Amino acid sequence: MSKEYALESIEVSLSPRERFVEYLQSRGKRVTQQRMQLVDRIFERHEHFDADELIAHLSQNKETRISRATIYRTLDELVDAGMLRAMSLSGRRVYEHDYGYPQHDHLHCKSCDSLIEFASDELVTLRDAVAREHGFRVTGHRLIITGICAPCQKKQSRPASPLDLV
């Protein structure tokens, strides 16, 4: 991806673990070892994932014992805390980091289900102009452009056949 549309990092004052503890305490919820293990796993690297992928990854580590109910509940809490963003893609709920990550949009390949992140100043300018025209106060946006990625297009293309002329 060109540097023009690449995402920059955002400085945050609290680590994801500290931010989630603050959220739990503000709601009178318990800070448990399982919740902290989930936050550590989810924020150790940036990737899009669904609950089943997270469960499969956690099950590989025999020392980590977290129930499915705790995983689903914690994912919902992380969304409520503004740390994760959930989106529906191809009938599944997919999560991504929202805390410490800039506003961005996605290209979604309908063939391989991959997501490509990008940020565009032109898109934000257009969004703000449309909002101004309608007297609308923007608090955020989400854009997912669906289509077929370049690698999948190559797989789908085939050499021209004389039958194509018929």
Q: Which residue numbers belong to the known binding site?
A: 105, 109, 112, 141, 149, 152
Which run of H or E residues covers position 149? none
Residue positions in the annotated binding site for Fe cation?
105, 141
Distance between CA atoms of residues 138 and 152, nearest Å = 35
Which helix (H) or strand (E) covers residue 33, if one does?
A: helix 33-43
Burial class (CB in 10 A: 0-12, 13-18, 19+), 10: exposed
Annotated binding residues for Zn(2+), as ranges?
109, 112, 149, 152
**106 with 118: CB under 8 angstroms?**
yes
